[in-house]
Structure 1
Amino acid sequence: MRVPAAGAIAAIAVLLSGCGPADDWSGPRAAPGAVGTLAPGFVTAPPTPEATITPSPGSWDGVHPAPGYRVVLLTAGDDAPTKTLADAVTGWAEAEDVSLKTVTATGPDDYVPGIGRAMDLKPDLIIAAGNGLVDPLALVTANHLDQQFLVLGAELAEPTENVTAANWPGASFRGEGLDMSSFFDAASFTPARAAAAVRAGVASVLNHLTGIVVRLP
């Protein structure tokens, strides 16, 4: 009876922790790179800082994160576009066997602290979903150039080299100081577009094409 009891205790411990030993983020390790390569048509020349590129559809499909890639999904808002983006990230992480944690910023007063909580986890990449995060990210990211960020369905007006955006027409909100009606269309946030944005954006980051906007059709 002692062996089954020990096994049961170990199983309960894993369930309570929410992840197995392979998902332990506490230990030091080298950041994993990309598996696979970008197809011709993703970029025609190295982009300049803050440039917008328009990759050919599917040119990112051959790129995958290496095993052990750590991602934090940072969300703010319970609107349909944000939920669509968050669902796309979780679906991608499951398909790619990515180690994913989620940080939810509960309101405007929690946006900057939420970014801080995400950074404290020291992931390979923070993926942000929610227009409310755009202005706070603009304040914080320039002071943390060692942390990579991917903004989905929006973009920073003046991103630093560690902030990449993946969006499409109707999903390029750039902050409260600009006319939202010119940059935002909730109906454009389809599951297919959101999924493509995640994969294209991550592929760009994994290939060190950062500080740019990846614009999809």
Structure 2
Amino acid sequence: MRPHLRAAATLAAAAALVTGCSSGDDWSQPRPAPSAVGTLGPGFVDPSVPLAPEATATPRPGSWTGVHPSEDYRVVLLTAGDDRPTKALVTAVQDWAEEEHVDLRTVAADNPHDFIPSITKAMDMRPDLIVSAGNDLIDPLAMVTPNHLSQPFLVVGAELAEPTGNVTAVDWSGASFRGEGLGASSTYDPASFTGARCSAAIRAGVAAVLNDLTGIVIWLD
């Protein structure tokens, strides 16, 4: 092979390798829709009683453990705040993603001016699911989510006062921050954000989303 042709072939091969790596990294390539692997256990919800929008369901403890996301489930962790509850939730989401081989990206908002732009940035990444951790994001999410009904959201450790069908929340009596001036309930307790509770929150919430049980609140008490 002539030298200039060999050089061109080498450059083309290198370009192909770079393109192959970057296409997977930027989530740009089409792929099958994510699905649930496994099934919900008895007592997660009552199948004979359809859940109304904004309803609250109290699953039997552990009824979600048989459900896992399909391979390379794409999740953006949207977070704001460095308080103890938020840190506990972030750690739980990261641990879950590692254990389940989830493709996890993180968008962190550092100040109030970043809250809505951070939600927009997360949506622009076109993930399968956006998981929100941090009370500061509740009011901005309430503003943005009704206008983007095709994007699923999961709020852990808090809830929106009037969620649309694309927003699912996991809450408990020690959490239950609702925003819109409602703030935290009188039972709010930062100590309730234990590792076990936060782990259950992300797993139960994702199990609900993967089974199309959305627009509701999963109550863990």
| Residue 89, structure 1, aligned to residue 82, structure 2 | no
| Structure 2 partner of 1:3 | none
Mapping of 1:59-208 within 5 angstroms?
A: 59-182=63-186, 184-208=188-212
Give the ranges of 4+ consecutive aligned residues of structure 1 lying more than 6 Å apart after TM superposition: none
Gaps of 5+ in 2: 1-9
Deviations for 1:83-120, whole angstroms, at most 9, x for unmatched residues? 10000000000000000000001111110000000000
The number of residues matched between the two structures is 203
In the superposition, the TM-score normalised over structure 2's length comes to 0.87
- For residues 106 and 37 of structure 1, do their structure 2 counterparts lie closer, same or farther at Cα, with a shift above 3 Å needed? same
Letter in 2 for 1:25: W
Residues 144 and 183 from structure 1, CA distance in 2 versus in 1: closer, same or farther, beyond 3 angstroms?
A: farther
Report the TM-score, using the length of structure 1 for normalisation.
0.89
Structure 1 residue ranges without an equivalent (≥5): 1-5
Separation in 2 of the partners of 1:173 and 1:163?
A: 15
Identity of aligned residues (%): 67
**Aligned counterpart in structure 2 of residue 26 of structure 1, from 25, 28, 31:** 28
- For 2:174 and 2:24, the matched residues in 1 are separated by 39
* Pair 1:57–1:20, CA change in 2 (3 A): farther
- Name the aligned partner's letter for residue 212 of structure 2: H
- Does structure 2 retain, via aligned residues, the 8 Å contact 1:23–1:99? no
Q: Is the partner of 1:136 in helix, strand or coil?
A: helix
CA–CA separation in structure 2 for the residues paired with 1:62 and 1:46: 21
Separation in 1, partners of 2:157, 2:166: 17
SS at match of 1:182: coil
Per-residue Cα deviation, 1:6-34 (whole angstroms, up to 9, x for no partner): 9xxx9xx99xxxx8875551112232110
Bigger Rg, which one: 2
Closer, same or farther in 2 for the Cα pair 1:43/1:140, shift >3 Å?
Answer: same
Query: Which residue identity is paired with 1:131?
Result: N
How many angstroms apart in 2 are the aligned matches of 1:96 and 1:71? 12
Cα-Cα RMSD? 1.9
Cα distance change, pair 206–176 in 1 and its aligned pair in 2 (3 A): same
